[in-house]
């Protein structure tokens, strides 16, 4: 940017007989600023990321919120956050006995791009008219010979092992009940609806009980590499949050992507989320969450870069 202005300089005017023209020029650009693993896409004055109660959230990465209000990121009650950085378009609010420790605070920053914006809108295959419901004494292997299986809903109890592949849920929700044990390597669960374009409210939600055991890893290649849960971004915002948790024996590896709705993530001591990313319209942390964001080589998952405007000249 170049700024030019005329200035009257009394002493110099004796010699040059007129005012002087002064110019200044600077260059600003968006530059990479660290690794982030949590992003709230909310663009209004509504809180994007909230940490409340006695929550202890430890991140070996940064969190960012595109919300514009006075509490774009809110840490209240006795909530604590330890992150490399907290970045927000609006203000970062810390109240009560809340603490952000030594986290670098960057309020009034530029909005961050959706790292998964390139994912295609899900398409429901024909003939998807069967629900998957298992019982507490179940011990099932769910096959996926074609690579993509579609159900109208899932309600899981007992022990269920998913073969690698894509699992589309058409119009219904994914519910994992208490004491269920759910495993799957190279799996992605997609919540959408055949009428998503005209009826966003028909897209289902995820509810995972905190006493469930989840051992799930995302695909390492293909369209959904690194994605574990993907809710159609056309989903309507509702008052209820998608509730994702797991017990101390659980492992979650991959990204949780809910661009249109809120995700409430409940961590438990011992829950293995060493390679986890959360991108949602709004994010709420409860419990004790530890995310180191240390992903295995070739996992397809990983942090995304944050950007900040800096003067470079």
Domain edges within the chain:
33-311
- What is the reported pLDDT for 27? 43
- What is the reported pLDDT for 261? 98
Does 213 or 294 have the greater pLDDT score? 213
Evaluate whether 86 touches 100 at the Cβ level (below 8 Å): yes
- What is the reported pLDDT for 274? 87
Contacts 24+ apart (CB under 8 A), 87-92: 87/33, 87/36, 87/62, 87/63, 87/112, 87/306, 87/308, 88/48, 88/49, 88/64, 89/43, 89/65, 90/45, 90/65
For the entire predicted model, the pTM comes to 0.88
Is residue 32 over pLDDT 60?
no
- What is the reported pLDDT for 31? 37
CA angle 39–153–219, rounded 5-degree value: 50
Does 9 or 248 have the greater pLDDT score? 248
| Confidence band of 28 (pLDDT split at 50, 70, 90) | very low
| Confidence band of 29 (pLDDT split at 50, 70, 90) | very low
């Amino acid at each position: 940017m170049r700024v030019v202005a005329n200035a009257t300089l009394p002493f110099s005017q004796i010699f040059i007989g007129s005012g002087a023209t002064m110019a200044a020029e600077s260059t600003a650009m968006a530059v990479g600023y660290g690794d982030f693993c949590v992003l709230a896409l909310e663009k209004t004055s509504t809180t994007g990321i909230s940490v409340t109660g006695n929550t202890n959230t430890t991140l070996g990465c940064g969190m960012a919120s595109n919300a514009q209000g006075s509490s774009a990121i809110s840490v209240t009650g006795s909530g604590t956050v330890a992150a490399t950085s907290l970045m927000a378009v609006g203000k970062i609010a810390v109240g009560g006995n809340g603490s952000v420790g030594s986290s670098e605070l960057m309020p009034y920053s530029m909005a961050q791009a959706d790292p998964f914006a390139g994912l295609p809108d899900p398409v429901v295959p024909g003939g998807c008219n069967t629900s998957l419901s298992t019982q507490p004494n179940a011990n099932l292997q769910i096959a996926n010979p074609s690579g993509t299986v579609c159900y109208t809903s899932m309600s899981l109890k007992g022990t269920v092992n998913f073969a690698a592949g894509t699992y589309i849920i058409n119009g219904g929700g994914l519910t994992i009940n208490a004491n269920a044990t759910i495993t799957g390597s190279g799996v992605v669960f997609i919540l959408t609806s055949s009428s998503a374009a005209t009826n966003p409210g028909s897209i289902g939600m995820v509810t995972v009980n905190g006493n469930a055991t989840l051992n799930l890893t995302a695909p390492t290649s293909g369209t959904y590499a690194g994605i574990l849960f993907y809710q159609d971004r056309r989903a309507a915002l509702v008052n209820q949050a998608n509730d994702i948790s797991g017990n101390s024996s659980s492992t979650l590896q991959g990204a949780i992507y809910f661009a249109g709705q809120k995700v409430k993530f409940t961590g438990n001591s011992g829950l293995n989320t060493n390679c986890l990313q959360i991108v949602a319209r709004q994010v709420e942390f409860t419990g004790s969450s530890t995310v180191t964001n240390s992903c295995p080589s070739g996992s397809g998952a990983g942090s995304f870069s944050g950007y900040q405007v800096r003067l470079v000249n």
